Structure 1
Amino acid sequence: MKLIIGNKNYSSWSLRAWLALKQSGLAFEELTVNIGGDDWAALKRESGEIMPSGKVPVLWDGETVIWDSLAIMDYLADKVGRERYWPKDDTARGMALSMVAEMHSSYMAMRSECPMNVRKRFDGVQLTDAARDDIVRVLQLWAEARARFGKGGPFLFGTFGAADIFYAPVVSRFVTYGIAVPGFARAYMEAVWEHEWMQAWIAGAEDERWIIEQYETAPRV
């Protein structure tokens, strides 16, 4: 297996796919491309066979190619067993599936105003009402998942799984932009941040020398 990812410092979608592969337990090779480089546009045009969508992440498994982080996780779950990613309980699994789908398709204001930047820390950020509403919604979902299904461990549904994989970049965003969160959310964020795979990703981001200037300034209303 080969996983093509973008900059570890900036690419939230790549982080999700990478964590999904780590969760699978399968061996894989990773190839990182600089999505902020001058040659990125040309690379996308010329990479039809390598990156069919012109975007990252992309997973190659022999002759099989899967792009999009959710598709990659679903493909891996079918290979190794869906219970590795999703709660066994129907009710918990229903909520986890819905939370992942919502993360995949929503929170556009938060994403655009608070792009992932693992290395950076901002103080006193100014966000729009739309971005603050997104943050409140995320915290509501975290609170419900933890209260109803999180008694088996420190993660959203107890043990580390699909929902944590998809909300890991949100944890990174909250750390970067100094988002104030209640105690339960802070404890959850610490569990994700200190996870050995997350720490490995953070170390990789710290080692990168690529900089994308547009993501290096704090949001302003």
Structure 2
Amino acid sequence: MKLYIGNKNYSSWSLRGWLACKQSGLPFEEVVVPLYDEAWPERRQAPEFQPSAGKVPVLWDGEAVVWDSLAIIDWLADRTHRDRFWPKDPVAAALARSMAAEMHAGFLPLRRECGMNMRQRYDDFSVSPEVHQDVMRILSLWAEARARFGRGGPFLFGSFSAADIMFAPVITRFQTYGITLPGFAQAYSEAILGHEWMVDWAEAAKAEPWVIERFER
């Protein structure tokens, strides 16, 4: 398998696709492609990006090509075992799938006002009412998952799962913009940020030479 991803400092969807590949346990090659530089308009027309219309991440698995992070999660769950990604309990799995889908499609104010930037820390960020509403909704989802199904470990459904993959970039945003979290959410965030894969990603993000000015506050 070969996974094409964007800048690790900025690309939240690339992080999700990369974590999904790590979670699968299957060997894969990662190819980091700098986004929005002078060569990007031409680079995105290359054959490896044509199926996704130039978007990342893109996973090539032999002749199969999968783009969009949630689609990559589903593809890899089918390739390996669904228990690697989703809780065995069908009631827990229903909640996990719904949370992942809501994260995939929603929280637009948070995405728009708090872009992913793992190298920065903003102590003076003022949360808008719309972002506050998104944060409260996310915290309510986390609280429900942890209270009902999180007794087996530090993650949303106990063990690391697709739901954690989908929310991992949000946690980096909370850290970047200094958003204060209640105790249970702070503990969960620390568990995600301390995961060895997240540590590896963060170190690689900090070492990248590229700066995209449009994503700097």
TM over 0.5: yes
Q: Summarize the alignment of residues 1-221 of structure 1 with structure 2, pairs less than 5 Å apart.
A: 1-44=1-44, 46-53=45-52, 54-217=54-217
Q: CA 1:49–1:210 in 2, change beyond 3 Å: closer, same or farther?
A: closer
Query: What SS does the corresponding residue of 2:26 show, helix, strand or coil?
Result: coil
The 2-side partners of 1:211 and 1:185 are apart by 30
The one-letter amino acid paired with 2:210 is W
Q: CA 1:15–1:51 in 2, change beyond 3 Å: closer, same or farther?
A: farther
| Residue 30 (structure 1) shift | 0.4
The 2-side partners of 1:140 and 1:38 are apart by 42
| Residue 48 (structure 1) shift | 4.1
Contact 2:115 2:215 (C-alpha < 8 Å) held by counterparts: yes
Contact 2:3 2:31 (C-alpha < 8 Å) held by counterparts: yes
The one-letter amino acid paired with 2:129 is D
The percent of aligned pairs where both chains have the same amino acid is 59
Contact 2:96 2:163 (C-alpha < 8 Å) held by counterparts: yes
Residues paired across the two proteins, number = 216
The 1-side partners of 2:46 and 2:177 are apart by 34
The 1-side partners of 2:198 and 2:181 are apart by 20
| Residue 216 (structure 1) shift | 1.6
Query: What SS does the corresponding residue of 2:21 show, helix, strand or coil?
Result: helix
Q: CA RMSD in A?
A: 0.9
Point out 4+ residue stretches in structure 1 off by more than 4 angstroms: none
Query: What SS does the corresponding residue of 1:52 show, helix, strand or coil?
Result: helix
The one-letter amino acid paired with 1:207 is A
Question: Which ranges in structure 2 are unaligned for 5 or more consecutive residues?
Answer: none
Contact 2:58 2:65 (C-alpha < 8 Å) held by counterparts: yes
The 1-side partners of 2:21 and 2:50 are apart by 18
The 2-side partners of 1:51 and 1:83 are apart by 32
The 1-side partners of 2:89 and 2:97 are apart by 12
TM-score (norm 2): 0.97
Contact 1:51 1:58 (C-alpha < 8 Å) held by counterparts: no
The 2-side partners of 1:205 and 1:51 are apart by 26
The one-letter amino acid paired with 2:69 is S
| Residue 214 (structure 1) shift | 2.0
The 2-side partners of 1:6 and 1:49 are apart by 13
The 2-side partners of 1:49 and 1:149 are apart by 39
The one-letter amino acid paired with 2:159 is T
The 2-side partners of 1:96 and 1:50 are apart by 30
| Residue 124 (structure 1) shift | 2.1
The 2-side partners of 1:69 and 1:172 are apart by 17
The one-letter amino acid paired with 1:181 is L
The 2-side partners of 1:107 and 1:181 are apart by 17
The 1-side partners of 2:127 and 2:9 are apart by 21
Question: Which ranges in structure 1 are unaligned for 5 or more consecutive residues?
Answer: none
